[in-house]
Structure 1
């Protein structure tokens, strides 16, 4: 593998991460002028509230909360930060709880209970600041009507393994948990609230990020049924009962836009995949590349999307299109993997392995797909480097790249070749970044 391309790709990825570092996102979006908190175009007189509560959840929860502690300081009355195992830390004023991701666990439910109990103490003259980042949907849950955490785990696992999109996954989650799909806003009412959101979802729809806990929900029990039918999933008796009650109108739908619940809520995006891509573009230009951002909304099966990048790489090598060489083609988004094997890896590593197979023997090309949170799938890698020598490198040490891809075992392949992207937990999460370099 070419050291120069690998080094450049890593520097570009690292620069992209710096643009969506949670404390920077908060400080660039929020400030305090004496007793006034300013968020976007809104101003909050902190002296007019009896209490100010801080609730942070997601993979970036601790970093976002730390930044807001600095800003709000003595005005914070109480609060919690809920994040993924290994992503925690110590905060000055907030209790930190680690929980399961991408599959919720008992700590996820404990977090939901703690937040509910705290919100039950709030009133009309209180301000609640919600800090929401990717992963929040699994990390914070409160099962509805007889649903157990094992019911949620089983169905979530089934959806993920079936290749369900994040939208589909969250539609189901919203109807299983009382805190999702506007549920937190309902609990917080009639307090005033402001949600600062770090987006990890294609297109940045507020009702999908962390399952939209503080915004109106447009999804329905009918859509829940359609998703379950589409993937031919078997439901536990408790989930089936909840779905039947929802379809019959016995169980209340998630909060919709009508009604007073959302009259005192405000939402502000503090960081997105697009922000990271533009910083990556600037870094690539500094390194001498002609750059092009394809999209920040890339979706699809990871191994198939890799073929698109391979086609672009061949076009660049042959014709210098769509931008002159040396070229850096950038994209962002979140692909999916349909599990057919029992290997280890994630969508970025699977994409890299598929790309390596497609460009076998092609010189001076490299693809780096990387998860901005530092964890691709259930592995400890953020992604992997792949180029025209990837297939041969595996073969030289007795590994068949095609067989490893078939078994969804990309992590083991790249671990042996030494091409994993290892960043550790980054403290942020704005989906994935894809960096294609051609010289």
Structure 2
């Protein structure tokens, strides 16, 4: 594997991640001038509020909170930030709580109850900031009546195993938890609220990011039923009962755009995958590559998407198309993995391994799929490097690559080769970036 390509790929992915640093995203989006606060182009008179509160949740919540603490200064009355284990950091005014991700745990329930109690003390003359980032849906869970945490965990696990999209998973989460799908906006009403959002979802739909706790919900109990039918899911008696009550109108559906609570809610997108890819492209250009950004909305099964990148690498190597060499092809998004085995890995590592199989023998290429949060699946790797000789290296170590792929054991494969990308927790999360370099 060419050292110069590895070095270049590391610089490009580093720029992609730093380009969506949550602290910087808040600082660029929010400014204070005397008693006036500007979020984008909208102005708020801070002197008109009795109290200003901050509620943050997601992998980037600590960094986002730190930035807003600095901007608001002594105007900030109190706050709470919920983040993933190991993503913590010191804050002055805001209380930091840790919880489980991607599978919700009891600490996430405790955090949600704390926030629910917190919001009950707010009134019509208060302003509540919601700082929302990827992972927020799992990190803050408040089961609805008769639903247990184990019901939510079990169903979430099932959905992930069958390869359900984040939109499908969140549509169900929103109907199982009281804080999702506009739930927090409902709790905060009649306070005014500002939601500052770092997107980790393809297309940036606000009602999907962290399960849309402060925006109108476009999903319904009918959608819940359709997803259950599509994947032939077996539900617990409690979940089945809630679904039936929801379909019959016994249980109220999540609030939609007609609900008056949203008239006091303002939402602003501070960063997303597109911004990350733009920063990646800038660094690639500085390194001398001809650069093409394919899309920031890539979805599908990781193994199949890998074949597309392998075909692009082959075309570049043979015909210097679609770009003259040296070329850097960039894309972003979030793929899925159909779990077939009991190995360890993540969508980016699985994509890299599938790419390696398809690109065998190609020279002077490198493919790096990486999660911007630093954790690809339940591993300590952000992603993995693959080239035309990745399979040959594995063969020399007597590793059966196809068996590794069949068992979803990409982490172990790349660990043996020494080709994992380890960044540690980055403090941000805007899905994945895919970097293909051809010399």
| 1:279-318 Cα deviation digits (max 9, x unpaired) | 1111001101000000000000001100000000000011
Deviates more, 1:383-392 or 1:40-49: 40-49
Q: Give the C-alpha shift of residue 43 in structure 1.
A: 1.2
- Aligned residue number for residue 247 of structure 1: 247
Separation in 1 of the partners of 2:394 and 2:296? 31
- Aligned residue number for residue 319 of structure 1: 319
Instruction: Give me the TM-score of the superposition, normalised by structure 2.
Output: 0.99
- Aligned residue number for residue 385 of structure 2: 385
- Aligned residue number for residue 438 of structure 1: 438
- Aligned residue number for residue 168 of structure 1: 168
- Aligned residue number for residue 284 of structure 2: 284
Separation in 2 of the partners of 1:319 and 1:44? 56
SS in 2 for 1:72: helix
Q: Segments of 4+ in structure 1 off by > 3 A?
A: none
SS in 1 for 2:141: coil
Separation in 1 of the partners of 2:283 and 2:113? 44
- Aligned residue number for residue 409 of structure 1: 409
Mark the runs of 5 or more structure 2 residues left unpaired by the alignment.
none
Separation in 2 of the partners of 1:219 and 1:68? 31
Correspondence list, 1:389-400, <5 A: 389-400=389-400
- Aligned residue number for residue 186 of structure 2: 186
- Aligned residue number for residue 124 of structure 1: 124
Separation in 2 of the partners of 1:48 and 1:131? 21
| 1:330-362 Cα deviation digits (max 9, x unpaired) | 000000000000100000000000001111111
SS in 1 for 2:296: strand
1:75 aligns to 2:75 (yes or no): yes
Q: Give the C-alpha shift of residue 229 in structure 1.
A: 1.2
Deviates more, 1:230-239 or 1:124-133: 230-239
Correspondence list, 1:41-190, <5 A: 41-190=41-190
- Aligned residue number for residue 335 of structure 1: 335
- Aligned residue number for residue 14 of structure 2: 14
Q: Give the C-alpha shift of residue 155 in structure 1.
A: 0.2
Instruction: Give me the TM-score of the superposition, normalised by structure 1.
Output: 0.99
Q: Give the C-alpha shift of residue 232 in structure 1.
A: 1.2
Deviates more, 1:397-406 or 1:169-178: 397-406
Q: Give the C-alpha shift of residue 406 in structure 1.
A: 0.6
SS in 2 for 1:263: helix
Correspondence list, 1:180-219, <5 A: 180-219=180-219
SS in 2 for 1:97: strand
SS in 1 for 2:328: strand
| 1:110-151 Cα deviation digits (max 9, x unpaired) | 111011101111000000000000000000111101111110
Separation in 2 of the partners of 1:146 and 1:94? 32
Q: Give the C-alpha shift of residue 77 in structure 1.
A: 1.1
Equivalenced residues, count:
439
Q: Give the C-alpha shift of residue 398 in structure 1.
A: 1.4
Separation in 2 of the partners of 1:251 and 1:146? 12
Separation in 1 of the partners of 2:183 and 2:316? 49
1:366 aligns to 2:362 (yes or no): no
| 1:176-219 Cα deviation digits (max 9, x unpaired) | 00111111101111100000000000000101000001000010
Q: Give the C-alpha shift of residue 259 in structure 1.
A: 2.6
Separation in 2 of the partners of 1:182 and 1:193? 12
Q: Give the C-alpha shift of residue 233 in structure 1.
A: 1.2
Separation in 2 of the partners of 1:88 and 1:156? 25
Separation in 2 of the partners of 1:249 and 1:399? 56
Q: Give the C-alpha shift of residue 320 in structure 1.
A: 0.5
Separation in 1 of the partners of 2:19 and 2:89? 21
Separation in 1 of the partners of 2:61 and 2:324? 41
SS in 2 for 1:245: helix
